Structure 1
Amino acid sequence: MSDMKDKFEEVKDDVHEKADNAKIKLDKTVEDVKEYAHDAGEEMKHTGEAAKEKFSEVKDQVKSGFDQTVSDVMEVTADDKNKAVIMHVLAIFFSFIPSLIFYFALADTSEFLKEEAKNDLNFQITLLIAYFVAGILWIVLIGVFLTFALGICGLVFEILALVKAKDGEHYKFPFSLKLIK
Structure 2
Amino acid sequence: MENPENTTQNTVSTVSQDTKNLALLLWLGTIFFGFIPSLVLYLVKKDDAYLLDQSREALNWSITVVLGMLAGFLLAIILIGILVIWVVAICNLVFCIMGVIATSSGKPFRVPFALRLIK
| Alignment TM-score, normalising by the size of structure 2 | 0.88
Q: State the partner residue of 1:75.
A: 14
Where 1:73 maps in the other structure, the secondary structure is coil
Structure 1 regions of 5+ residues with no counterpart? 1-71
What is the aligned length? 109
Q: Of residues 13, 33, 37 in structure 2, which corresponds to 1:98? A: 37
How far the C-alpha of 1:73 sits from its partner, in A, is 2.9
Secondary structure of the residue aligned to 1:75 is: coil
Give runs of aligned pairs for residues 4-23 of structure 1, distance below 5 A.
none
Bigger Cα Rg: 1
Cα drift, residue 149 of structure 1: 1.1
Q: Report the residue type matching 1:180 in the other structure.
A: I
- 1:131 corresponds in structure 2 to 69
Tell me which of the two structures has the higher relative contact order, counting C-alpha pairs closer than 8 angstroms and 6 or more residues apart: 2
How far, CA to CA, are the matches of 2:53 and 2:12 in structure 1? 13
**Following superposition, which runs of at least 4 residues in structure 1 exceed 4 angstroms of deviation?**
none
Aligned-partner Cα distance in 2 for 1:132–1:174:
20
**TM-score, length-scaled by structure 1:** 0.59
Percent identity at matched positions?
36
Task: Specify every segment of 5 or more residues in structure 2 that has no aligned partner in the other structure, as ranges.
Answer: 1-10
CA root-mean-square deviation: 1.0
CA distance in 2, matches of 1:73, 1:164: 16
Quick one: distance in 2 between partners of 1:178 and 1:83?
22
- Aligned counterparts of 1:168 and 1:137: Cα–Cα separation in 2: 39
**2:61 pairs with 1:111:** no
Matching of residue 163 in structure 1 with residue 101 in structure 2:
yes
Q: Which has the higher helix share?
A: 1
